[in-house]
Amino acid sequence: MSVTKTLYDTMPDGREVFLYTMENNNGVSAGVLTRGATLNSLVCPDKNGEMGDIIVGFDDLSGHLNTTTYAGEIIGQYANRLADGRFTVGKTEYNVTKNENSVTCLHGGGEYNSALWKAIITDDNAVEFAYRSPDGAEGFPGNVDITVKYVLTDRNELEIHYAAVSDRDTILNFTNHAYFNLGTTKNGDVLGHMLQINADCYTPTDERSIPTGELRPVEGTAFDFREWKSIGRDIGQEDLQLRQCRGYDHNFCLNGEKGKLRLAAAAKDEQSGRRLEVYTDLPGIQLYTGNFLDGTEIGKGGIALQKHFGFCLETQFYPDTPNHPDFPQCTFKAGERFESLTIFKV
Ligand code: BGC
């Protein structure tokens, strides 16, 4: 096993961006950038042993700097959406950046994912990224010290360990926004990929993509992924939820106990023979099927990123949790430690 550090590029302001590449004894490798602690690549074999990169992303820093996709980035302080960019902690109401149509806060306003993180190699298969978010950044309370440690094991698991602590009571919800394409983008969209999600319910949303509060059973709907089915099978169904979001862009309420690591979702691409399993201890996962990719961004290998060229499985607390007292909560006291683990196994 090995970890190598290389200079990736420099930011327009001259700061250096580094790439850390972990490789295991099977030849599987994962590359992570210090900008956004971004998962830049995950290279693994297909059924013929041919290596391919299953992370949808970019060949250079300008691709990462100019994208609006959040591809591979670590999202904080609140992944997903907050209605009206507003929430209350204790007796204090906070108003945070409304970076989505001036109506909602999406992905914390874009702070964590565009920051340069410090990195240290902690083992021959592990790199820990650290960032301090200053109190009040994008309107969120607390100086938040976060570490995200990526570990690549010989079982072909990419572990993502999150740990954070704030010096004020606050809300914390982090995720990795990787888009996967198990056939690689050379082979087009992911509608033929098979998917399975261990969720009996999901959170339907309004026209702003904010949960209505209902936990709707997936039974008998296009959202039933409890048994394997292709991503594309029901995506075109006449369903208001799918129409509003142009495809899947929804939080699934994961079965099993929150706080316990469990299999949340799995995907397989029969053509390439590659598989992905996603494990998490968090209560939810956002399935996003790249509905807003429209070919204007050019990804790896010069390939335009078209609609549905990747899918995301973003492990998380439910969207807009602080405004839904019935959802599993993500408010943390000053000094209280947030810890969470997500695993992408190939
Ligand atoms: C959101 C999408 C959004 C995408 C990229 C996802 O997490 O749910 O609505 O378009 O991120 O910005």
Spatial CA neighbour of 105 closest among 321, 325, 290, 297: 321
Q: How confident is the model at residue 199 (pLDDT cuts 50, 70, 90)?
A: very high
pLDDT of residue 269: 98
Q: Ligand 1 centroid vs 291 CA: distance in angstroms?
A: 9
Write down the pLDDT at residue 81.
98
Q: How confident is the model at residue 99 (pLDDT cuts 50, 70, 90)?
A: very high
User: Which atom of ligand 1 lies at the shortest distance from residue 291's CA?
Assistant: 10
pLDDT in the model for residue 263: 98
CA dist., res. 224 & res. 201, Å (int):
8
Expressed in angstroms, the distance from the first to the final Cα of the chain is: 17
**Residues 312-344 pLDDT 10s:** 999 999 999 999 999 999 999 999 999 999 999
Q: Relative to the CA of 249, which ligand 1 atom is closest? A: 8
C-beta of residue 310 within 8 angstroms of C-beta of residue 304: no
Rounded CA separation 99/104 (Å):
7
Q: Which pLDDT score is estimated for 244? A: 97
Which atom of ligand 1 is found nearest the CA of 292? 10
What digits encode the pLDDT tens for the residues 167-190? 999 999 999 999 999 999 999 999
Atom from ligand 1 closest to the CA of residue 319: 8
107, 113, 173: residue to mutate for ligand 1 pocket, most atoms within 8 A of CB? 107
Write out pLDDT tens, residues 290-311. 999 999 999 999 999 999 999 9
Q: Is residue 129 within 8 Å of residue 118, measured between CB atoms? A: yes
Q: What is the mean pLDDT of residues 189-196?
A: 98
Question: Residue 331: which of 96, 177, 169, 113 has the closest Cα?
Answer: 169
For residue 288, the CA-to-ligand 1 centroid distance in Å is: 7
Closest residue by Cα to atom 8, ligand 1, is: 249
73 membership: H or E segment, kind and range: none
| pLDDT at residue 160 in the model | 99
Which residues lie closer than 8 Å to 45 by C-beta, 6 or more apart?
26, 27, 28, 51, 52, 274
The pLDDT, as a whole number, for residue 146 is 99
Residue 179's pLDDT is 99
Q: How far apart are CA 138 and CA 95, in angstroms?
A: 9
Q: Provide the CA 215 distance to its chain's centre, in angstroms.
A: 22
Report whether the peptide linkage leading into residue 77 is cis, meaning its omega lies within 30 degrees of zero: yes
Q: To which H or E segment does residue 98 belong?
A: none
Reported confidence tier of residue 129, pLDDT bands at 50, 70, 90:
very high
Name 219's Cβ contacts closer than 8 Å, sequence gap at least 6.
Answer: 200
Q: Which residues are marked as active site?
A: 177, 314
Q: Residue 173 and residue 166: Cα distance in Å, rounded?
A: 12
Contact 317, 283 (CB under 8 A): yes
Predicted local distance difference test score (pLDDT) of residue 190: 98
* Nearest-10 Cα torsion for 217, 218, 223, 224: 160
- Angstrom distance (rounded) from CA 83 to CA 57: 29
Residue 123 CA to ligand 1 centre (angstroms)? 33
Report the C-alpha gap between 121 and 3 in whole angstroms.
Answer: 7
Ordered domains of the chain (ranges, CATH): 2-178+330-345 (2.70.98.10), 188-323 (2.70.98.10)
CA 335 to ligand 1 center in whole angstroms: 30
Which residue, 289, 282, 197, 199, is CA-closest to 241?
Answer: 289
Can you read off the two tokens belonging to residue 305? 């990123």
How many H helices and E strands in the chain? Answer: 2, 29
Question: What is the C-alpha separation between 251 and 269, in angstroms, rounded?
Answer: 22
pLDDT digits (tens, 9 = 90+) for 200-252: 999 999 999 999 999 999 999 999 999 999 999 999 999 999 999 999 999 99
User: Which pLDDT score is estimated for 127?
Assistant: 99
- Please tell me the residue having the least CA distance from ligand 1 atom 6: 288
Q: How far away, in angstroms, is 199 Cα from ligand 1 center? A: 20
Spatial separation of the C-alpha atoms in residues 175 and 251, rounded to whole Å: 13
Which amino acids bring their CB within 6 angstroms of ligand 1? 69-70, 209, 249, 286, 288, 292, 314
Q: Report the chain's mean pLDDT, rounded to a whole number.
A: 98
CA-closest candidate to residue 286, choices 107, 59, 45: 107
Between CA 305 and CA 176, with CA 56 as vertex, the angle to 5 degrees is 125
Q: For the stretch 4-18, what's the b/e string if a residue is b when 16 or more beta carbons lie within 10 angstroms of its beta carbon?
A: eeeebeeeeeeeebb
> Residue 68 has what pLDDT?
97
Alpha carbon nearest to ligand 1 atom 9, residue: 249
One-letter amino acid identity for 237? Answer: Q
